[in-house]
Structure formats: structure tokens, C-alpha cells
Structure 1
Amino acid sequence: MSETQDQEQTVKVNMDYDLDTPITSKVGLRQGLASYGDPHFSLFLRKVFIKALGYSEDALSRPIIGIVNTYSSFNPCHANIPQLIDGVKRGVQLNGGLAIDFPTISIAESFSSPTSMYLRNLMSMDTEEMISAQPCDAVVLIGGCDKTTPAQLMGGISANKPILHLVSGPMMPGSHRGVRIGACTDCRNNWAKYRAGTIDIEDISSINDELAPTSGTCGVMGTASTMACVLVGLGMMPFAGASAPAVSSARLRIAEETGKHAVAATKQLEKLRPQAVLTRESFLNAITVLQAIGGSTNAVVHLMAIVGRHPKIAGTIDLDTVDEIGRKTPLVVDLKPSGDNYMTDFHNSGGMLALFHEIKSLLFLDAMTVTGHTIGEEIARQSYVAVPRELSVIQPFDKPLYPVSSLVVLRGNLAPGGAVMKASASKYRHLLKHSGRAVVFSNSADMAERIDDPNLDVTPDSVLVLQNIGLVGNPGMPEAGLIPIPRKIASEGVLDMLRLSDGRMSGTAGGTIGLHISPEAADPKSVLGIIRDGDIITCDAEARVLRVELSDEEIQERIKVRAQQVQEQKAPWEARKRIRGYRGLYMRTVNQAQFGGDFDFLTAAGPEEENAS
């Protein structure tokens, strides 16, 4: 350090302790001081303890980049996060910043009871409060597993410091009998074959060893990969960040690049806060991406929650927006579960940059990104060499995998608040317009007990209905919406039936399945909650209709009886008033699926007046 620099550093240090100079800075260590009643002492004490970690005054004078660490030994999706943290730190420190990592909770899909969705809002609170409480000028959010990235974005929008996302990346596919397989579409397809008796216990055991051969998120267009692509569509992550494999050197270079962008963001603090970067056009781009990739139905509920966190966007985008954009957006990415390929194929086909070139006419190119450039500028400034058509999983815009509306929003007396269906993942397209007799299961336990009963009154034309797996009814809206085909039907070679629930299904799953039905069955006013065996249900995806063929009078009479039963039996909707802990908080304040399943007090609008009293 030169003599002049040394003198300047001494002046800065002395100013920290000059009692006659007010501490007004909102950056670096001077922001968000602990409340000791004396801000100078607060800063003095903060420096005492940070120096215990060996930081110098020179280091502490640089922009501070927080790195959110969601590593967990229970989370194989995040196994590479220690290496990603090293990569981000390298990028930060090569560009003049100080990188400090800190932990938040980690949500792993298969290791979260009762469901990962139950913990998403808790993670968003953790993320928001840690970003707000600690002196970070910008934050890199490292996540990956399904509910992690939406939780981080929800918390980051609410905290409103510059944030950049870095995902752990998809895993590589495995192999069984010479055929590529991968988590987790092939998990479900092969389990269905095992249930139907077409493969034996030795096969399913061998397949189990190969479905997840590396760390990383599911290697198909499931929720994790969908949300990664959506983050790029929103402008919150560099283009290459969505698809590079978790175990690749490219993933580590992306981590370094993210650290570089985070330091640059501190020089444009007001411009690059998430509430400034994200506009209505950003969300429209994200929904366009969602439809073009045939993304997870889970992304719809997450996007509604993310929208609800933004003070300027909340109320301007809803389920109808998702459907409207779908009507003009073709599905052009040939990946499971709507197609045949894996995320490694998408990456090798050019990933998000190649997709943007294909759907450019549908995008709002003036939407901003966290790099400080618009989407259009980012597309133009990145070198692009198109992969030959015959080698690419990205289909031509005019010859898509599915014409339009990969995801549709259904409404009718059965779903006045809406329901979501991935039409492109239907295995029997005739079921997209179908009427059939309801076979009703009152909850997951009832389904598990009766679904394979040889005496179950069910045919391939029946409509399987699963109640009470919604946000409150379960709680947590589990991924049980992929109702198994009854064994006696599956053994006949039937691969798909019309299935309906108030729950979710994995983004890796396929079938003709109506999900997120709102209001959920646990609500005493829900029509889903009063469906009985034998009721005729009609689904018409083209007309966007989901209804039960009952008169309004019959529906109201059943609802009246149902409301009385809920109160007398102290069902979840009633019992939640006296439940302790996080579960009580969750069940009393979670909003319905069409609003994203967020807590009412976390939304930009806050709780309604009657709930706040």
C-alpha cells in the first residue's frame, strides 16, 4: 500500500470513531448497526468482533458481498455448494470486493416432512431477515433444490438489496440396460412399471442405483430446472447459469462470474435492487420461458408468491396471465416429462441463450437484468453459434413439440379459484376433453389404503379425485397429485387417467392431472371438498373448463352440511386456530394456491385487516 493510500485508510478508520461525525452511510459495515443506543459504539464493537476472524481494515473497507450457504448433508442437490462458494469468493475478491458467506436453512425435496413446500415460506423468512440484518452490499443466493430458489427470491425481493442467483445445477443422467435414465421422470415411470408388474424387483433395485448418479438437481425439466430457467427469464441470473451440469467446470466458472457481477452491482445499488430490476415485463418474460420449456406446474404457484412480494407488481399478474401468455407460446424444448431428453442435452444445445434466440419475438427485450444490461443487450453481446437442428433439443418456433399452452389454467364450479394442468405432459390426449365418474379419496391415507383394492369400483374412464392434500388440509400441499393408476387398471396396460386434487405434483411427473384446485378441499366452502363417488366430472382443457355436473342448489346443500362437519370434527380448517409453533403459524396465515401459498403477513400488501387484529 502506498503512503497516500495508507494515509487515506487511516483517515477512514479514524472517522469511524470520530464522535462528532454522524454515521450516515448505508453501505459496508456501517449499514444496519446493532441497537446499542450509540451508533459509534455499535460500529466499534462490530469491528472488534469481525477482526477476531482476521479481517484487516483494508478488507473491511471494500464492498461486502454476502454469500448465502444452503449446504446440508441431507441435501444431495446442494452437494457442490462448498465448491460454488469458493468460486463466488474468487470472483468477488478478483474484482475488489470482500466475500462473506453465511448459512440459511436448506430444503431438500425428499428429506422434508410433511413436504418441502411446507418449509418454503420459512426459508424465505430466514433469507429475508439474514439479508436485512447483516451488513451486505449485495448478496449471492446459492440454491437449487425445488423450493429453495423461489424461497430465496421471495426473501430477496422483500429485503430489497441487490441479489444474484447461482443454482447448483442439474445432475448427469445414468444408464440401465444401455438406456439413459435420470431423476426423476424415470423414477416415476419405472415405479409405475414395477407397480404394474412389467419389471421385477431386481430391475427396480438396479434402476435405483442409476437414477441419480451424480450430485445436483433433477436432470429433467422438473421444478428445479424450471425455476433456474425462470430466474434467467426474470433477469436474475446469467444466461449460462440455468443449465450447466452441477459437476462441470462450467458451473464453477459461472460461480466466479456471479461473484464478479455481485461486486459490479454494488456500484449501481438503486438501479439493481430487485424491486427496481423486476418489472411487469420481467415477469411476462419469465412466464413465456415457463411455457416455452414445458416447465413444472409448481412454477406457477411459486411465481404467484414471488409476484405477491413485489409492491409494484402484486395484483397485476395472476393465473389468467399465465394462461394468456400460454395461448401464444409454443413448447420448443424437448425434455422430459413433456419430451424425451435431459438437461445436459439442453445445455449442449445452447441452453437459455439458444432458447432466447428461438423465442425472441415473444420477449420484452427492454427488461433489465442483474448485470445492468437489458435482456436484449445480453442476447446481442454474447457470442452465439447455433447447434445443428438435428443435434438440438430446441425445436423450431414454427415446428414446436407442442403448439401452444403447455400449461393451462382451468376454471369452473369445481375450481372457481383456478386449477393448473400441464397439457403437454398428458399421455392420452383424449383425456384433455373427458367426462367420467368420480372415484374419491378423502386424503392420502385413504388413497394408500384403497387404491390397489381389487374391489375398487374404478375403470380407465373414471376420474380419480384426491381431497385434503392442500396447503392447510395436509398441510403443505404435497406432491401427491400424481395419484397412482390403480393396480388392477395399470396391469391392463393403462398409463394415464384423468386425476384431480388440491395438491401439487413433481415437475418431473407427467399425466393428465389437474392440480392446485382452489379453494382447497379443507375449506368448508370448497366444492372439491363435497365431491362424492359417482359424481360426473368434466374437464375440457381447450375450453379451460373443470366442473362437476351438479346443480347449484345441490352444491350449496352439500357445502352447508360439510361446513357443519368441519366444525364438529375439528378438521384442520377449524383446528388450526389452536395449533402451536410453526405449524400453527403456517396453517393460520397461508394463502390459497392462486396467490402462491405465501403467508399473508409476508406479502407486499400484508395481512388483511381482520386477520391482523
Structure 2
Amino acid sequence: MAKKKSLRSAEWFGGKDKMGFVHRSWLRNQGYPDDYFEGKPVIGICNTWSELTPCNGHLRDFAEVVKRGILEAGGFPMEFPVMSLGETLMRPTTMLFRNLASMDTEESIRANPLDGIVLLTGCDKTTPSTVMGACSVDLPTIVVPGGPMLSGRFRGEKVGSGSMNWMIKEKHHREGYTAADFTEAETCVARSIGHCNTMGTASTMATMVEALGLTLPGFSSVPAADSRKKRFAQLSGRRIVEMVREDLKLSKILTRKAFENAIVTNAAVGGSTNLIIHLTAIAGRIGVDLKLDDFDTLGSKVPLLVSLKPSGKYLMEDFFYAGGLPVVLNELKERLHRDTVTVNGNSLTDNYKDAVCYDDDVIASLKTPFQKEAGIAVLRGNLCENGAVIKPSAASEELMKHKGAAVVFESMEDYHERIDDPDLEIDENSVIVLKGVGPKGYPGMPEVGNVDLPKKMIMKGVTDMVRISDGRMSGTAAGTVVLHVSPESTVGGTLAFVKNGDCIELDVEKRKLHLDIPEEELNKRKAAWKPPAPMADRGYVKMYVDHVEQADKGADLNFLVGGSGSKVERDLH
């Protein structure tokens, strides 16, 4: 008979010596009875709740529901906070702090008497940051995604929180929206608890963790306000206790096959380009070698099966009513690794084999997809030596092969100052180039790649133009936008040397992004280039700038990649 694995928390609570006394006695002030310290699995509830993160504002209540499940299964729940990343309020960008939040998560788990972890997530970066941190400790872990908002309604139109934001400038200039119109729209767009209700980054990351096998089946699609969300949360609390007893750690679930499943699934649902950076970083933490080209090789030929904004017309609530992610995973079964293990102990096939689609206008079949090839395309060329990405399902077909003269903005400040200048030399064939918004350059790589078009182009009726940058784009946005150009301009990538009027060629089918100037001229510009001054001289931001990797490697800090384990090194008392 196999020897029963001892609980990690026993190193704190199991001793009959002085330190066992100390660890138990301080917790006695909370009124815990004796049996809580006698072999119950201690489950840490990692809560990203914050009033500064509106998308996660309901997670305080969810934690109590999870606790019920843990107690029912014989566990000892202990909730703890970690840095919460609110996409809507934080400056300069939450991406700057993703790695910091992952460190907070990792060290909070490692330093405390925890046997298993429940991650309460929601807004964009709270999912990848907590998963990254948990991977670096590698304990049994389950994710409780906070869920999307209910669908917004504005003057008879169904509107998505997030997608509406990118239409504001156009609404103002073309439709004459007043301040009163904007105020009314604000109250209609975000009308319930939860995160963005489009297939933006928050929904994408929730979808990702389910495709990876880190949530109970069907959990990611349920709206935050639906009572079934709490049911799933309570069941997750029960299940994590069982996972501890089974020693079902993250490394047993997050295999290479699981990551490949997530890439295929992301393509099928029209997920955010941000998945690339986050999934690559998570893989790096758990020790799976995931390359940028894998997203193209594995996902670019996958058909679009879900009609959700910004790639379609519906919202997450509609997706749930149509059957949700289980339908998609069942439809994709021949393209997925069906034997991967998930948190409930079952395989992917077993979890989703009985899924039924209730609305084929929302979820299509492989035989009649909304788009034949919807996955992320990875571009190569002298303008992006280490790669760049574009999301074809959100782009304009007529611009997927395009040549145009560059209109260059050296920074976001330069863009804001000049973009609506009536004298700006730009037309619908121009290529907007934005520099200085990569991982080191901003710093933090903000979601500004889909910059608004010039006012005079909007008034002319132009709805899309080719835009290129070393930054990111919100998953709620659309457009023919080339992102994540690597190396970034700030470290001397070719993007740094683009000048106004240079011809740029984009050919998505051929995966080509090319700056069409003579090699001699390019070398001359490189020789004359001087790197910008450092963006920070103290604290975390300096550490970030000094150690962050480029976008093609997931923009993690180089000293955090690889290496995991939950061993308690010493007790200094």
C-alpha cells in the first residue's frame, strides 16, 4: 500500500513542540476548534477582490461560498489577499504589475501553511498573474473565474462593456453624441457585477483556464450574476480538498498537451491576442517550452466557431445560453488532446462529451464555421525579427495584404498631440506606426496598439487602417492591428528606425511584415540611433525594466522563469 502523503501544513501545525504551539496558538484568537489543526487540509483562497478593481468587486462574496465547499469536504479554509489589478483604473497599465502580482501570489503561498489553493480571478491580469504565481509553487490549485457581466442594452441596441469604449470617438464625431448621451451609455454598458462581457481578455483568460483544465467543466461561461456561478464556486471548494488528498498538482495538469489545447480553443472562440503573452509566461513558470510560432502552427488554421464581439455580434451571456465553452470543446474534440487531465480528475473528453448547442447562430459547427481560419497569425520580417502578431478574425479582409507609407508617432504623447491635427499628412492607405509602447518602453506594454483613427479619416467614413506597434491591444477591440513587434523600438528593434514616408508591406497570408528601405539606409539609421533614457530609477518599476523579457517570450521577469516547488526552507523561530 502506498504511503499516505503528509500535508504540507503539518510542518506548521503538526508539531508538539514550541513552534507547533506558537503557530496554533496565534490562530486560536479566531476561535478555531482543536480538530482544525489535526490533519485537515489547509486551503488558501487567493482573493483578488478590490474596490479599485470593479470587475472583481463581487469576489469577497464568492470567497464565502468557496469556504462553504471547503468546510463541507473537511478542509480548513484560509482567505488571503494579493495585489489586485484593475484594468479600468490602474496607470500606466496593469501589464506593468502582472509580474509583481504573480510574485505576491507565489510568495504568499510559499510562505504560509497551505496545502491547496483556490484562485479567485476576474479582470484581465488577475487570472494570468495568480496562475503564474501558483505555478511557481506547484501545489494542487483550482481556479474560480468571476464571470462576465450581463449583456448591456442601450437604446434598443445590445452593447458590450469594453467594445463600446472603442466606438466613443466615432460616436462623438460621426453621430454627434452629447455628454448626456455618454452618461446614459455608461450606465447601460456595465449593468451588473462581473468583467467585460465580450470575448475580451478577461473572458479569454477564463476560457483559457478551463481549456487548460484548471476549472470545473462549464464554469468559465457562466455570467457573474447567475446563481449557478456560486454553485460552481461551492463545488470548487469541495473539489480542491479532494485534489490535495489526491496530490493533483498543477504540474500534472499543465502539460504541453494542455497548452496546445488552450491555443486551439482560443482560435475557435476568437480570443484575445493577449493570450499569447500570458500563456507563454504561464508555460515558462511551469517548465513547458512554448514558442511564439506554436500559436500560428497550432491555431492559425482553426475555424471561428463563436460569434462574439469583437469578432462577431453576440456577448458572453448569449454564449452561455447557447451552451458555452463545453459545446466548443466537444465540437473541437478531434483537434484537441482528449486525454489531458483536468481538476475534477476526468479527461477533457469525459467532461464535455454530452455538451449540447442550443443556438447555432452563436456557436457554429466545424462544418459551417463563421470563418474558416481565425487563429492568431505570427508575422516575420525585417520589421519584427523576433515576430509580431495579428488577429485576422478582428481585422478587415481588404487590408490583410497592404502596402502603404508610414505615418510615425514616436510615443503615445506624440500620438495624442498630432493625431487630430488637420494638417497631418495621412490618408486611408497610410500605415500608422506607434513606437515606445513595448515592455520596456512605456514601461509595461499598454493596450494602445489599436489607436483611434484621425478625426479627418473618421469624418471621411474610414473605419479601419493598418496600425503597427510594439504594444498590445485590448481583447475587446477590433481592427487590422499588428501588435507585439519584437524586439521593441526601445531596445533597438527595427521599429525604432522607421521614418515618415517609409513603405511598409503587410501580407498576412505570407506571414510577412517588411520595411521596404535599402539595407544600407537601415544600417545608417541604426548607427545613428541612441537608446532612450531609462524609464525608472527606483523600486519595482526599475526592477521590471531591468529584467523584463520581450513580448515573444511572454514579458515575464527573466529570473522568475522556470523553477518551482513548495518546500519550506527553514523556520527561524
TM-score using structure 2 length: 0.95
- Retained in 2: the 8 A contact 1:25–1:31? no
Instruction: Tell whether 2:532 aligns with 1:532.
Output: no
Instruction: Tell whether 2:24 aligns with 1:53.
Output: no
| Aligned pair partner of 2:545 in 587, 590, 613 | 587
| Aligned pair partner of 2:239 in 253, 261, 286 | 261
Aligned-partner residue type, residue 175 of structure 1:
R
Instruction: Tell whether 2:353 aligns with 1:386.
Output: no
Give the stretch that moved more between structures: 180-189 or 414-423.
180-189
Aligned-partner residue type, residue 202 of structure 1:
A
- Retained in 1: the 8 A contact 2:268–2:306? yes
Q: Alignment partner of 2:384: what SS? A: coil
- For 1:364, the equivalent position in structure 2 comes to 337
| Aligned pair partner of 1:107 in 71, 85, 104 | 85
Alignment of 1:110-125 (within 5 A): 110-125=88-103
CA 264–33 in structure 1, closer or farther in 2 if over 3 Å, else same: closer
Aligned-partner residue type, residue 276 of structure 2:
V
Question: Post-superposition shift, 1:395?
Answer: 0.9
CA 191–40 in structure 1, closer or farther in 2 if over 3 Å, else same: farther
Q: Alignment partner of 1:600: what SS? A: coil
- For 1:9, the equivalent position in structure 2 comes to none
Distance 1:45 1:25 in 2: 24
Distance 2:428 2:122 in 1: 37
Distance 1:165 1:25 in 2: 23
- For 2:258, the equivalent position in structure 1 comes to 282
Question: Post-superposition shift, 1:32?
Answer: 6.1
- Retained in 2: the 8 A contact 1:184–1:220? yes
| Aligned pair partner of 1:482 in 435, 450, 454 | 450
| Aligned pair partner of 2:283 in 300, 307, 311 | 307
CA shift digits 1:102-141 (9 cap, x unpaired): 1111100011111000010000000011111111111100
Q: Alignment partner of 2:468: what SS? A: strand
Distance 1:409 1:32 in 2: 49
- For 1:468, the equivalent position in structure 2 comes to 436
Question: Post-superposition shift, 1:97?
Answer: 1.1
Distance 1:547 1:196 in 2: 34
- For 1:430, the equivalent position in structure 2 comes to 398
Distance 1:70 1:326 in 2: 31
Distance 2:414 2:50 in 1: 34
| Aligned pair partner of 1:557 in 512, 524, 528 | 524
- Retained in 1: the 8 A contact 2:140–2:244? yes
CA shift digits 1:399-445 (9 cap, x unpaired): 1111114311111000111111111111x311110000000000000
| Aligned pair partner of 1:30 in 10, 18, 40 | 10
- Retained in 2: the 8 A contact 1:197–1:491? no
Question: Post-superposition shift, 1:605?
Answer: 6.5
Aligned-partner residue type, residue 10 of structure 2:
R
- Retained in 2: the 8 A contact 1:191–1:204? no
Distance 2:138 2:118 in 1: 13
Alignment of 1:163-182 (within 5 A): 163-182=141-160
- Retained in 2: the 8 A contact 1:29–1:43? no
| Aligned pair partner of 2:416 in 415, 424, 448 | 448
Aligned-partner residue type, residue 598 of structure 1:
D
- Retained in 2: the 8 A contact 1:220–1:508? yes
- For 1:78, the equivalent position in structure 2 comes to 56
- Retained in 1: the 8 A contact 2:379–2:389? yes
Question: Post-superposition shift, 1:39?
Answer: 9.1
Instruction: Tell whether 2:123 aligns with 1:155.
Output: no
CA shift digits 1:548-580 (9 cap, x unpaired): 101222222211111xx22xxxx24xx25x711
Question: Post-superposition shift, 1:240?
Answer: 1.8
Instruction: Tell whether 2:323 aligns with 1:355.
Output: no
Distance 2:131 2:412 in 1: 31
Distance 1:106 1:541 in 2: 37
CA shift digits 1:139-179 (9 cap, x unpaired): 10001100110001111110111110011100012211111
Question: Post-superposition shift, 1:181?
Answer: 1.1
Question: Post-superposition shift, 1:384?
Answer: 3.4
CA 94–535 in structure 1, closer or farther in 2 if over 3 Å, else same: same
Distance 1:277 1:605 in 2: 17
- For 2:387, the equivalent position in structure 1 comes to 418
Question: Post-superposition shift, 1:235?
Answer: 0.6
Aligned-partner residue type, residue 557 of structure 1:
K
Instruction: Tell whether 2:369 aligns with 1:400.
Output: yes
Distance 2:428 2:452 in 1: 12
- Retained in 2: the 8 A contact 1:83–1:252? no
- Retained in 1: the 8 A contact 2:160–2:309? no
- For 2:346, the equivalent position in structure 1 comes to 373
Distance 1:192 1:257 in 2: 45
Distance 1:474 1:257 in 2: 42
Aligned-partner residue type, residue 599 of structure 1:
L
| Aligned pair partner of 1:207 in 170, 182, 185 | 185
CA shift digits 1:6-37 (9 cap, x unpaired): xxxxxxxxxxxxxxxxxx98515323689xxx
- Retained in 1: the 8 A contact 2:13–2:24? no
Distance 2:250 2:187 in 1: 41
| Structure 1: gaps (5+ residues) | 1-23, 607-613
Distance 2:386 2:127 in 1: 26
CA shift digits 1:515-569 (9 cap, x unpaired): 0100001012x1001100000001111111111101222222211111xx22xxx
- For 2:571, the equivalent position in structure 1 comes to none
CA 530–32 in structure 1, closer or farther in 2 if over 3 Å, else same: farther
Distance 1:308 1:551 in 2: 38
CA shift digits 1:33-74 (9 cap, x unpaired): 89xxx9932222001111111111212221111101111111
CA shift digits 1:302-354 (9 cap, x unpaired): 1111111122x13xx21111001123311111000000000001111111111
- Retained in 2: the 8 A contact 1:80–1:247? no
Q: Alignment partner of 2:128: what SS? A: helix
- For 1:326, the equivalent position in structure 2 comes to 299
CA 417–94 in structure 1, closer or farther in 2 if over 3 Å, else same: same
Greater C-alpha Rg: 1
| Aligned pair partner of 1:44 in 21, 25, 45 | 21
Which of structures 1 and 2 has the larger relative contact order (alpha carbons within 8 angstroms, sep 6+)? 2
CA 387–103 in structure 1, closer or farther in 2 if over 3 Å, else same: same
Q: Alignment partner of 2:385: what SS? A: coil
